[in-house]
Amino acid sequence: MTRYTQLLLSGFLLLFLLACLSLAMGAESLPIKTVLQTLIHGGDQDFIVNYYRLPRILIAILVGMGLAISGVLTQGIIRNPLASPDLMGISGGAGLAACTMLLIWPNIDNVWLPPIALLGGFSAALVIWLLNRWHNPSPARLALVGIAISAFLSSCINFLLILHPVEVNSAMIWLTGSLWGRNWDYVWPLLPWLIVLVPFSFYLAWSLDLFALGEDTADALGVDTKGLQIAALLSAVALASVSVAVCGTIGFVGLLAPHLARLLVGSRHKLVLPVAALVGALLVLSADTLARNLAPPLELPAGVLTAIIGAPYFLFLLHRYKGY
């Protein structure tokens, strides 16, 4: 058994144990034996386990995977170690679109949130792409441009909340990044997108490795670099947008997970993508589990906990790549 296989198996085992722990912990703690019996046979705790905690855990895993893979694709295609969907404004655009729809049509069906968020995410990505073509900024400056766009989009969301104070509670989730109240109704709109986009992202791994050698080299080796850039960026934006549509802007997962994966397995995308997906799932699930258990019944947003880790790490990366 190779070291990489051992790493993946260890990651899956850790994710499984964390999921079991998350099922058992909360405002009402349950023995693991009771959790397992309830999962199989139902019972008195059926609502808590099967209809409240289980879908929330699945959403945390799926969203963590989506944001992490989106971060790998964004960093790989832009060749910018500071890039991530939330820092580049993609998550902010998706969140603004979702908030707008929720505030204007608060009773909208959940199935419409991913395509609406996609529209917002693609709009933000288009702005970033145009700025990159016109000014060709350095990686550090491009990251700062993304932060500025994210701040502008956040201010737009705040403005909308002021205009619609009655509906403010339904949109607050997109400001903080939380899985509170997430149930099976939010799993099904998210799952089909990830079933398609995650394997497609893995399919791009070999081309991304060649693209990292430079566009001229990749072209000489038979890679359609323009097509690769379009496919990878569309996939990255779509993964980030559908994740934001479900639980809001959980920050820094798309930045942290790819870097942690590269520390573990190197820079080959074939190896990085699965490990980053595992790391992202572990980050979001850990943050949500802590958010539910630090001060029950009060819940902190998972995005707050990921930001506590991610913000200092981003400052470290800015210092490390200041001359890049």
pLDDT at 168: 67
d(CA 148, CA 188): 33
What pLDDT shows up at residue 54? 93
Q: Is residue 50 part of a domain?
A: yes
Query: What span, in angstroms and rounded, lies between the C-alpha atoms of 34 and 240?
Result: 36
Residue 126 lies in a domain: yes
Q: Based on the structure, what is the number of domains in the chain?
A: 1
Contact 190, 114 (CB under 8 A): yes
Whether 11 maps to a domain, the answer reads: no
Domain assignment present for 1: no
The pLDDT value recorded for residue 322 is: 58
The rounded distance, in Å, linking the Cα atoms of 110 and 108 is: 6
In a domain, 300, yes or no: yes
8 domain-assigned:
no
Q: Which two tokens stand for residue 38?
A: 């309830």
pLDDT at residue 191, as a whole number: 92
Separation CA 113–CA 161 (nearest Å): 18
Q: What is the pLDDT of residue 171?
A: 65
Identify the domain containing residue 173 by its residue range: 28-320
User: In this structure, is residue 274 part of a structural domain?
Assistant: yes
CATH classification of the domain holding 215: 1.10.3470.10
What pTM was computed for the model? Answer: 0.91
pLDDT of residue 173: 64
- For 24, the enclosing helix (H) or strand (E) is helix 3-24
Give domain status of residue 21, yes or no. Answer: no
Average confidence (pLDDT) per 10 residues, the chain, 324 residues: 91 95 88 86 85 93 96 88 82 87 79 88 86 68 77 84 71 73 87 94 94 88 90 93 88 91 92 96 94 81 84 74 56
- What is the crossing angle of helices 54-78 and 225-247, to 10°? 150
